[in-house]
Structure 1
Amino acid sequence: MSTQLSPEMSLLLSKMTDQLNIQTNTITENITAAVLQKVDEKILPIIEENKRLKGEIEKLSTKIQNLETNSKRKNIILHGLPESNEETHEDLTTLVTSTMKEIDVQLEYGEIDRLQRLGKKVNEESKTRPILLTTTTLQKKIQILKNKKKMKQNTYITHDLTKAELQLKKEKRHMDIKENEKRKRSETPSPGTSNAKQNTPKMQRKNAFQFMRERAYSLSDKNTYRN
């Protein structure tokens, strides 16, 4: 047998339930805020340390890039020079010095700090490897670069760039290609524009003929009126 609550009891129960819900929400919010505060207290030092470490990494990365760039200041790379299967260091030195002589640069043995082929030769049919040349002075490198246009066909000289510099060069080349394509598209007339230009002279001739015919009719009408 169910018991029917009086209106006063129902209202009191409803108020108590609402008050209980309010207290529960308050307790939950306080606990959440306290937990978050504790978490923040633990995490904030970690975040600050992470920021500091990122700054240190960026500084070290910059220093490494500068050191790498400085280490390549006197480097040049020679491309396309023939490579024999049994090439010795003496053969390579003779090849490079004779090549420099052909472009009017006198390169003495004492002016060579480092000389080697780049990459590993897999087999006899492998592609000819480029040559890294490090001069003892920056002036000698500059002299070689000034005369690099005198190199024989299919041979050339480039700077020894770092990975970061190569990436920037690649991105710049990609941007230049996109700009050229965009410029070509803007300079190419659309088919509608081309047809309009082709039709313009015909329309002008037609309009001129129509004008002359209407002019002739007008003069004829005037003469008829006078007669």
Structure 2
Amino acid sequence: MSMQPDNKRSRDQLSSSDHEDSSIAADLLRIRESMGIMEKQLQKLDLLKKLTDDVEELKHSVEYNNSLIDVLKQDNASLRMEVNTLKKLTADLQQKNHKMSNDILDMQSRSMRDNIIIHGLPETQKETYQSTEQLVKTFMKSTLKMEEREVDAIRFSRVHRVGQAESSRQKSRPIVAKVVDTKMKISIMGRGKELRGTNYSISDQYPPEILRRRRLLHPVMTEVRKNNKKARLVTDKLYIDGKLYSNPEITHWLFGGDTNTSR
């Protein structure tokens, strides 16, 4: 009978020990769970810190970009002002160049105003200025049918061939004769009708640019005359029935797109 209490105590002790082990195991499980939670929270904190750092870095980057944009805006505004200044300067230079070209062309035209170009007069190898002038005067008497006293009264400031002489030349060079008296020059040009049917011709002398413009206007003048309209070419201007002909595609010099001469 005395053994039963001891067995009971042993069982109670074992039961108590199992209970304590279960409690410890539960505590350890809770600790592990808590540590897992804490670890996740720490990971979240690390992630949050990284995000915070990234946001801060992004903020600095945005601020830098904004400051760079401000600088670029200022530079762009400065460049725009410089471009506008250059545009104005270019426009001023173009205007001055246009005026200068006009003035030069006008001076060239005026210097040639009393010049006559004669085509077809034979040329000799030993021709001199004096012999060329005498050839012109003979041409005026015999071909233009001018009176001898009228020809003798004509004074030339110079008479010369145009272009460089060539020993193998088959075609005579034209002659430029500058008449001192404008009225006499007009009288000579009025004799042009005497040259119909001959190999001779006389014309006014113009600068190359004026000649180019006149070549553009000649077809227009010929066409309008076919329609029984009066057309008159004055230097680089064409007048049709008394009105100045203007066409941006042809007479571009009248619209500021080319050099021009004001007569």
In structure 2, distance between residues paired with 1:10 and 1:71 = 88
- 1:44-92 per-residue CA deviation (whole Å, 9 max, x = no partner) reads 5555444333332222211111111111111110001001111122321
1:19 paired to 2:23: no
Residue 205 of structure 2: which of 148, 153, 160 is its match? 160
- Residue 90 and residue 109 in structure 1: after superposition, are their counterparts in 2 closer, same or farther (change >3 A)? farther
In structure 2, distance between residues paired with 1:10 and 1:176 = 87
- Residue 18 and residue 174 in structure 1: after superposition, are their counterparts in 2 closer, same or farther (change >3 A)? farther
RMSD: 3.0
In structure 2, distance between residues paired with 1:17 and 1:175 = 75
1:170 paired to 2:215: yes
- 1:161-203 per-residue CA deviation (whole Å, 9 max, x = no partner) reads 11221121233457789x9xxxxxxxxxxxxxxxxxxxxxxxx
Give the 4+ runs in structure 1 shifted more than 6 A: 174-177
1:115 paired to 2:156: no
Q: Rg larger in 1 or in 2?
A: 2
In structure 2, distance between residues paired with 1:20 and 1:171 = 68
Q: Is residue 154–residue 184 contact of structure 2 (8 Å, CA) maintained in 1?
A: no
In structure 2, distance between residues paired with 1:4 and 1:104 = 120
In structure 2, distance between residues paired with 1:128 and 1:95 = 13
Query: Which of 122-131 and 103-112 deviates more?
Result: 103-112
Question: What is residue 89 of structure 1 aligned with on the other side?
Answer: 129
- Residue 89 and residue 112 in structure 1: after superposition, are their counterparts in 2 closer, same or farther (change >3 A)? same
In structure 1, distance between residues paired with 2:58 and 2:211 = 69
Question: What is residue 147 of structure 1 aligned with on the other side?
Answer: 191
In structure 2, distance between residues paired with 1:98 and 1:5 = 117
Describe the SS at the equivalent of 2:159. Answer: strand
Percent identity reads 22
- 1:9-31 per-residue CA deviation (whole Å, 9 max, x = no partner) reads 45434533442332122111112
Amino acid paired to 2:70 = N
- Residue 92 and residue 64 in structure 1: after superposition, are their counterparts in 2 closer, same or farther (change >3 A)? same
Q: State the TM-score, normalizing by the size of structure 1.
A: 0.65
- Equivalences for 1:27-106 in 2 at 5 Å? 27-40=67-80, 45-102=85-142, 103-105=144-146, 106=150
- What displacement does 1:121 show? 0.6
In structure 1, distance between residues paired with 2:219 and 2:64 = 62
- What displacement does 1:146 show? 1.3
Amino acid paired to 1:104 = K
Greater share of residues in helix: 1
Q: State the TM-score, normalizing by the size of structure 2.
A: 0.57
- Residue 110 and residue 101 in structure 1: after superposition, are their counterparts in 2 closer, same or farther (change >3 A)? closer
Q: Is residue 159–residue 178 contact of structure 2 (8 Å, CA) maintained in 1?
A: yes
In structure 1, distance between residues paired with 2:51 and 2:115 = 92
Q: Is residue 162–residue 174 contact of structure 2 (8 Å, CA) maintained in 1?
A: yes
1:137 paired to 2:181: yes
Equivalenced residue count is 176
Q: Is residue 115–residue 179 contact of structure 2 (8 Å, CA) maintained in 1?
A: yes
Structure 2 unmatched runs, 5+:
1-41, 224-263
